[in-house]
Structure 1
Amino acid sequence: MESMRVRDVSFSNGTVELAGSLSVPVGTDLVVAGVVLVGGSGPTGRDNGTYFPPLRQHFVKAGFAVLSYDKRGVGQSTGDWHTATMDDLAADAVTALNFLRAQPEVPSQAAGLFGHSEGGWVALRASAAQDDLPWVVTNSCPGTSPAEQERYALANHLRGLHGDGHPEFHSTLSLYDQLTEAGRRDADFATAQQLVDDAGAPPGLAYYWGNVDERLWRFLKRKQDHDPIPDLLRLRCPHLALFGGADKAVPVADSIRVFAEAACDAARPHRATLTVEVFPGGDHRLQVQGSTDLAPGYLDRVSRWLAHHVTTPTDGGS
């Protein structure tokens, strides 16, 4: 028996036409809430590789309408993510949220955002501007800047290649730091590439630099010092932060500390509670043991938390 209905949809944010998929349980009376899935970094489509389909299926089975979309300039969406700012990407997410809220089968005040990795920064920026969200979920979202997160991921990659004590471990991280500083000086791509060439283009740097061209360099240097803390302090809804304990791309312990410090700030609205879930053995996509299997209990825990917070009343004192 069919349990899910999927249709292609499109919606506009200014001159950018975003294309996506809306999945709903069969029978409109079965929809308890809606969730927008916001993909991670790079040219992510509505499925975020293979990561979103199992989430979509689980959420629909749990009674959620699910909207995911191709990032601007990807798939059937127009525009170019290389030229986008965090505000642009957040505006795309808000546009998707408003589209989902407008669907007749979706309770308009029971729809929120789920952002994966970079999409977590986007979801936080989008949520911070909203007064009436029931919740926001970040999945493997760093509490650090992109520059710090990329350095952490590169260090883990180099550690796997050489170990901490190898000279190339330290020299490659030093080169990364030089590129970061070049970005802060707004150096052009030729200048950045010359730094890499002068250092002998160490093979381990390819993890970070292998696909960088002029367009991507402009995006990276514009994004590298994004600070999620102001958005965390401005949240006015409950926040579920999900992490894999074996995530080598995100400094999980540091991110949890940042999220917790923001939640403890006296200026943060009282309704903006924080729930943190760390799944031991889970990687950046909350998958375990190098497989596509999600961490045990992950999907059920998320859907139960969402359902519980759908009807959370607003805090009149915030």
Structure 2
Amino acid sequence: MHFPKLRTLALVTSIAFHTVTHADPLPHHLGHWMGNLESPNGPRLKIGVDIYTRADGITWASVASPDQGAYDIPVKAIHGEPGDAVVLDIDNASLKLTWAGDHFRGEWRQGNTLPLELHHVPGFPMPARPQTPRPPFPYSEKHVAIRSRDNVVLGATLTVPFAPKHPNVVVLIAGSGPQTRHVDMFGHHMFDVLADYLARHGVAVLRYDKRGVARSSGDYYGHTLADLQDDAYAAVQALAARKQFGQIGLVGHSEGSQIAAAVAARHPEAVDFIVSLSGVGMSGLDLDILQDRQAAYDLGATPAEIERIVRYVRQYNETALTTADGPPRVAALKALYERLTQDDQQLIRKYHMDEVTLVPEMAAKPFFPVSLRTDPRIDWHDVHCPVLVLGGSLDHQVPANDNIAGIVDALKAGGNARVKAAVLPSLNHGLQTAHTGGDDEYARIEETIAPGAMHEIATFSREQ
């Protein structure tokens, strides 16, 4: 909810077990496979499939659309078809793969069936960014598996500097959406860049794929915030069990900030400090309305149009809060839209609100009403460890002044005086140096994270 929305080929639902029982080609052809999908009346798109072994030992796959800047799109189920073929289900689409000697013959099924040949490639194309980490590295990196409360296994990377001997360590907690341990955004690997900087400045880092995403098992789109909090706490416990680190901190970006607060509030003995980056300091309902108001403004809506949009957003959210998950909520939200006047329907379409934020199929997921009801200030009130709160002055997703004030006020109301806060000038939601802070800048900006922001995070994390 808090990062700009990508219009990908498909946004997916829950993860299922790999149910193929015949001669399955996937385990024998791990790696990246890519081809060109040519639709009769649409653009030519590169489509990729990454086949890998998850952290729980199961062969799995994800889909990529490099031309749209979308990678690691989760597959919700894999099943067999006659002829030693497998089908990857991707919510409103599927991809059938049949091994053809040295490549996969593919069939993309989304209304029509389109042919697609996928050949092995060393990796998927993505923009080269100047801050992407490059050797030599003054630290070690290893892949680790972390078991969460409900037997979900998280795939993770642990980065440990060669010095000092017992460094402080932080868990990086991603914002909303099916994020990997890298936090990919238009070719920027936000968490890779941050982990590299922290390790070069003496702080160890653990970062992980969200449940149901990339190398992690589990069900992402069936999750609640409580599940994500359990996963973050499992990461903290895994670090404590290694007995090789000093203080253990949490660095949460956007929604990850409130996850950090919840973990520290519920397990105060386990968390020694927190860094909140572009974090939320108001209720989910208030933030959602604020975000849609800002999105409409950024797209050029007039003040009168914005108020009409916000009126509908309030009705939309109220309907979502009072209707059961799944098909009943989709039906109720579509009926709400149909009851709008033609002028209001045209207004919603004009600013693409029906494609970006007001999508009934996404609102039907269990996490949506939970996120609206959530108020992270309740948890911040009960956090008593040292906290650094940072936000960017050009953040359009989580406007810094109001949200930082909400976090700081909650901390101080709970008696926590060990709080530092700053609004960093000219930074957007992703902590890039920006000109306007609009969604359209993310891909154009070469910087992944402003060095000044990373310096603040590293200094605070090292000195605890």
- Partners of 1:31 and 1:280 lie apart in 2 by 34
- Partners of 1:218 and 1:23 lie apart in 2 by 33
- The unaligned stretches of length 5 or more in structure 1 are 310-318
Alignment partner for residue 406 of structure 2, among 245, 258, 280?
258
User: Any idea what the Cα deviations from partners look like across 1:246-293, whole Å, max 9, x if unmatched?
Assistant: 00011322212222322332xx244x5221121111000110123142
User: Any idea what the Cα deviations from partners look like across 1:87-115, whole Å, max 9, x if unmatched?
Assistant: 221111010011122224323xx111111
Partner of 1:176: 313
Report the alpha carbon displacement of residue 2 of structure 1 after superposing the two structures with TM: 3.6
Does 2:344 match 1:207? Answer: no
Query: In the superposition, relative to structure 1, how do residues 38 and 51 fare at CA in structure 2: closer, same or farther (>3 Å)?
Result: same
- Partners of 1:162 and 1:196 lie apart in 2 by 22
Alignment partner for residue 204 of structure 2, among 46, 61, 65?
65
> Contact 1:149 / 1:251 at 8 angstroms: preserved in 2?
no
> Contact 2:139 / 2:160 at 8 angstroms: preserved in 1?
yes
Which protein is richer in helix relative to its size?
1
Does 2:379 match 1:231? Answer: yes
Report the alpha carbon displacement of residue 46 of structure 1 after superposing the two structures with TM: 0.5
User: Any idea what the Cα deviations from partners look like across 1:180-206, whole Å, max 9, x if unmatched?
Assistant: 111221352210122234432622213
Query: In the superposition, relative to structure 1, how do residues 286 and 148 fare at CA in structure 2: closer, same or farther (>3 Å)?
Result: same
The within-5 A match list for 1:14-93 is: 14-26=150-162, 29-49=164-184, 50-93=189-232
- Partners of 2:291 and 2:267 lie apart in 1 by 32
Counterpart residue type for residue 268 of structure 2: D
- Partners of 1:238 and 1:2 lie apart in 2 by 30
Q: How many residues are aligned here?
A: 301
> Contact 1:150 / 1:208 at 8 angstroms: preserved in 2?
no
Partner of 2:292: 154
- Partners of 1:215 and 1:70 lie apart in 2 by 23
Query: In the superposition, relative to structure 1, how do residues 123 and 256 fare at CA in structure 2: closer, same or farther (>3 Å)?
Result: same
Report the alpha carbon displacement of residue 166 of structure 1 after superposing the two structures with TM: 4.5
Secondary structure, counterpart of 2:141 in structure 1: strand
- The unaligned stretches of length 5 or more in structure 2 are 1-135, 435-440
Partner of 1:280: 425
Alignment partner for residue 193 of structure 1, among 334, 338, 345?
334
Report the alpha carbon displacement of residue 238 of structure 1 after superposing the two structures with TM: 1.0
Higher relative contact order (CA 8 A, sep 6+): 1
- Partners of 2:249 and 2:226 lie apart in 1 by 18
Partner of 1:303: 458
Does 2:387 match 1:242? Answer: no
> Whose Rg is larger?
2
Counterpart residue type for residue 249 of structure 1: Q
Query: In the superposition, relative to structure 1, how do residues 77 and 296 fare at CA in structure 2: closer, same or farther (>3 Å)?
Result: closer
Partner of 1:103: 242
Query: In the superposition, relative to structure 1, how do residues 215 and 253 fare at CA in structure 2: closer, same or farther (>3 Å)?
Result: closer
- Partners of 2:292 and 2:268 lie apart in 1 by 37
Over aligned residue pairs, what C-alpha RMSD do you find?
1.9
The within-5 A match list for 1:216-227 is: 216-227=364-375
- Partners of 2:319 and 2:392 lie apart in 1 by 32
- Partners of 2:175 and 2:224 lie apart in 1 by 14
- Partners of 1:231 and 1:165 lie apart in 2 by 35
- Partners of 2:363 and 2:283 lie apart in 1 by 20
Give the structure-2-normalised TM-score. 0.61
Counterpart residue type for residue 283 of structure 1: N
Partner of 2:254: 117
- Partners of 1:165 and 1:278 lie apart in 2 by 27
Partner of 1:316: none
* Identical-residue share of aligned pairs (%): 27
Which protein is richer in strand relative to its size?
2
> Contact 1:45 / 1:75 at 8 angstroms: preserved in 2?
yes
Report the alpha carbon displacement of residue 216 of structure 1 after superposing the two structures with TM: 4.8
- Partners of 1:21 and 1:297 lie apart in 2 by 25
User: Any idea what the Cα deviations from partners look like across 1:105-153, whole Å, max 9, x if unmatched?
Assistant: 323xx11111111111111101111233221111111101222222212
- Partners of 2:364 and 2:138 lie apart in 1 by 41
- Partners of 1:25 and 1:196 lie apart in 2 by 54
Report the alpha carbon displacement of residue 20 of structure 1 after superposing the two structures with TM: 0.9
Query: In the superposition, relative to structure 1, how do residues 143 and 215 fare at CA in structure 2: closer, same or farther (>3 Å)?
Result: closer
Counterpart residue type for residue 261 of structure 2: L
- Partners of 1:72 and 1:215 lie apart in 2 by 19
Counterpart residue type for residue 256 of structure 2: G
- Partners of 1:3 and 1:260 lie apart in 2 by 36
Counterpart residue type for residue 432 of structure 2: Q
- Partners of 1:61 and 1:152 lie apart in 2 by 37
